[in-house]
Amino acid sequence: MNALDSCFRRNDGGGAWVIFMLNLTLKQLKIFDAVARHLNFSRAAETLYLSQPAVSMQIKQLEDSVGMPLLEKHGKRLFLTEAGREVLHYSRTVLQQLQEMESVLGDMKGLERGQLSIAVVSTANYFMPQLLAKFIQAHPAIGVSLSVANRDAVIRQLIENTADLAIMGQPPDEADMVAHPFMDNPLVVIAAPDHPLAKQKKITPTQLAKETFVLRERGSGTRGVVERFFAGHHLPLPAHLEMDTNEAVKQSVNAHIGIGIISRHGIELELETKRLCILNVTGFPIGRHWHIVHRKNKRLSVAARTFQDFLLEEAGKAKGM
């Protein structure tokens, strides 16, 4: 049976406790999770391979069971109500527990299969597709989904348990997160090849601070490194423009809007085609690492452990070359 009969107790205001029942289905919870993720019935229906009326009907039945609206419209935009946020929290917990149970049973059967959800910061997307292709080829029974976002959004996916593993340069400070370094991630200062500083050696931080920069938005890992670099030299953050993607940073630097700081992994093609150059700055490259991150209390599935071992093994091979 697919129904979940949940029993709750609440005070009726007169000192007596009233028992009420919720009759929910896993299908309703999965559909609600998709609608809450997209805040759009049509997009949720597409991802679930259902019709929009079918999705709307399931959400209506769920709201009838709960006895409160879970979604509300303001203009053309859809929002979760307070009750909707509560139901989303518990529904994701239920779905995650079921997924973990399936994974544990698969472990007991010795099966290497299942679904793996990975969230990566945008810079890591320059090398992750190649690694994922190699992993999928070696483990075809494991289904993989990849989400690319900025650092704050990736951390949020870990916290909300919508990602099994995350790949990022600067791991979160939260105590309930575990991070394993697996590959070097040097940050370099970039400029257009004909920039006045391009031919100079040992450029000082003070010289650098006089330049206009093209930086990633607040919340990105690279932006945090830049801020700490200048603060560590007792210098204010230089005049700058903000971009929300590495591609926008590179294009702006190439167009002489300013200079930038970016992962060396993200500029291989631009260096090869001589569209960008690396400046010789004292204190750079800044040595960092790529990290595999997951929640401390998360029971990693066979698929997640297999992928983690795969990354560590591939990183070891690269170091040995």
Over residues 21-68, the pLDDT tens digits come to 567 888 888 899 889 988 999 988 888 888 989 999 999 999 888 888
Least confident of 11-20, 50-59, 258-267: 11-20
pLDDT of residue 96: 74
pLDDT of residue 75: 83
Mean per-residue pLDDT of the chain: 84
* Residue among 195, 201, 199 nearest 213 (CA): 195
Least confident of 6-20, 44-58, 115-129, 207-221: 6-20
Residues β-bridged to residue 203: 281
Q: Which residue has the tokens 């000192």?
A: 15
On the question of pLDDT at 8 being above 50, the answer is: no
**How far apart, in whole angstroms, are the C-alpha atoms of residue 267 and residue 286?**
15
Name the CATH topology of 112-183+289-320: D-Maltodextrin-Binding Protein; domain 2 (3.40.190)
Do 112-183+289-320 and 187-278 share a fold?
Answer: yes
Which listed CATH number (1.10.10.10, 1.10.10.60, 1.20.120.160, 1.10.1840.10) goes with 3-92?
1.10.10.10
What percent of the chain is predicted at pLDDT more than 70? 87
145-198 pLDDT, tens digit per residue, is: 898 888 888 998 888 888 889 998 888 887 689 999 988 889 999 999 999 999
Domain extents in the chain: 3-92, 112-183+289-320, 187-278
121-141 pLDDT, tens digit per residue, is: 888 888 888 899 999 998 888
Confidence bin at 108 (pLDDT 50/70/90): low
pLDDT, mean of residues 111-116: 66
Q: Which residue has the tokens 């690492």?
A: 289
CA diameter of the chain? 81
35: tokens are: 């609608």
**How far apart, in whole angstroms, are the C-alpha atoms of residue 184 and residue 169?**
9
Confidence bin at 319 (pLDDT 50/70/90): low
Q: How many residues does the chain have?
A: 321
State which H helix or E strand residue 292 sits in: strand 289-295
Name the CATH topology of 187-278: D-Maltodextrin-Binding Protein; domain 2 (3.40.190)
Based on its alpha-carbon atoms, the radius of gyration of the chain, rounded to whole angstroms, reads: 24
